[in-house]
Amino acid sequence: MKHPVLIPMVVLFSIFSFFPLSASETLSGFWWNDRVFYEIYVRAFQDSDGDGHGDLKGLISRLDYLNDGNANTSTDLGITGIWLMPVFDAQSQHGYDILDYKTIDKDYGTLEDFKLFIQEAHKRGIKVIVDLVLNHTSHNHPWFKSALSDPLGQFENYYRFSEANPNSFWRSVINSQPPKFFYAWFNPTMPDLNYENPAVTQYILDATRFWLENTGVDGYRLDAIKYLIEEGVQDENTPSTHLWFKNFYKVVKASNPQAFTVGEVWDDLPTVLSYTGDEMDINFHFPLSSAIAESVSGGRANPLLKVLKETLTTFPKGQYATFLRNHDQKRLMNEFKGNLNQSLQAAAILLTLPGVPFLYYGEEIGLSLNRKGMQWDASSPNWGFTTGRVFSNGTQEKDAAFTVSAQTGDNKSLLSSYRRLIALRNSQPALLKGDITLVETGNPQVLAYLRSLGKQHFVVIHNLSEKTVIDYIIPLVNADGLTGKTSMLYPEEISSLDLKKDPMGFFTGKPLGELPGRSTHVFELK
């Protein structure tokens, strides 16, 4: 059967019968499993006042781009959750060196601006979590400056000081006599807090409650949690750290039982699991991020299959955060050396797998520069990000095609495809929070899996190679046939399909005679 060449990303819907899963095999519901999150660096998203810095008012003005609150429109991205990188008063542009845990950074606006942003996001059905950096503060934080100026004062025990230099994480206090050192795991400008001091814990928990109870924020992303409390020479994943976060989790849930916490634990899966459930609701799945990139760039399913198999035997169903890239990594377009088809296929894998997906701002239009201004319109000054002098050099890409305005008018652009993929996930419970069963395809370049919830089932097939594949097989049970005339991504590219089951009542075949290079297909089974 001859099929037309398809643009690399096609979703097909077809109808055939399938045995339903038992109730015990379906996911229990948590609201975060119904969400697609979007990570935003506020400084780089939208400036409202011409000072060159993105701000909360600018972000509010762009909320309709993210989700306009109307399920019947297709011009918004469709995300249903936002993770804001640090918005508290901080020393540097990135915000991970806090100066005040209870104040909004003046570059971003005021507390009232923040509350208004939360309200406007909620009107559109968007949940909001904010970055909470507990491990360290800025070296210019009033606590640290006081500790240096008054070694016998109350703040000296808010940090860890030593007269010796045990290892490279201890930094010298300049011009100190006798010599004195302080502990700072990340760098000398970010000294670690001392959580063996009850006063530190009390203040941090008060700040945690403050944002939950006074602003309507829906939860937190917790930065670098495995480094919180050191024990002797052990500087990560200590029993004291786990014990502290168990108490933290109780405090969060007491303030708001529906509050959501997602942790950054850049480690192996058993370690990530150890923080999941009673310390964090979920944690980021770094091995999965790496495996998606490796399988897509290498055109081989095995790296991803290996991680997926381990994931299925490690985590409670769907209780982990998935992502392609974040602010600490190279952007996807750099990873794939500008290959748009690979970027799109990675997105298709992410948005059809279990877990809670997080997208990094600008990935949907193919940005390759990290922490730079969002590109809205090539015809406007500074690409529509600001009318003033941009806070950082290099906000422009080499091609004006990497803008929201240019891609919005192109039905086959990266942005348009992201919109359709997110809409597909949002509209199908099995893709949001269903079970996954890996399917053996007989071809190392073809990745396939079944997503199921109750009586709803989808088969997802990815051709990871650049070339058309005909040598593959999809084994399914009790299939009466397969017909498809509709595509949610590219309707004009689909022709009718018709396949039958074998005499034994089993369907083992090829839903498509040919899988075009870098294509993804999603068949609904009923």
Length of the chain: 526
Phi, psi of 286 (to 5 degrees): -65, -40
- Upper half-sphere CA count for residue 304 (Cβ side, 13 Å): 27
- Three-class secondary structure of residue 210 per DSSP: helix
223 carries an active-site annotation: yes
Rounded to a whole number, what is the largest CA-CA distance in the chain?
88
The answer to whether the beta carbons of residues 228 and 236 sit under 8 Å apart is no
Bridge partners, 447 (sequence order): 462
Tokens of residue 142, six digits = 């009033």
Q: How many CA atoms lie within 13 A of 515 on its CB side?
A: 28
Cis peptide before 178 (omega within 30 of 0): yes
From the list 24, 13, 120, the residue with the least C-alpha distance to 67 is 120
Retrieve residue 135's tokens.
């491990």
Report DSSP letters for 341-361, one per residue: HHHHHHHHHHTTSSSEEEEET
What single letter denotes the amino acid at residue 281?
D
Q: Is the dihedral of CA 266, 348, 308, 20 positive or negative?
A: positive
Beta strands in 204-251 (DSSP E): 219-222
Q: Quickly count: other Cβ atoms within 10 Å of residue 340's Cβ.
A: 17
Which entry of 223, 335, 435, 524 is annotated as an active-site residue? Answer: 223
Which of 35, 7, 39 shows the shortest CA–CA distance to 324?
A: 39
Active-site residue 55, yes or no?
no
DSSP-derived letter for residue 76 is S
The residue from 39, 113, 236, 264 that is catalytic is 264
Distance CA 466, CA 341 (A): 9
- Distance (Å, rounded) from C-alpha 136 to C-alpha 162? 17
The total of other beta-carbon atoms located within 10 Å of residue 522's CB is 24
The catalytic residues are 223, 264
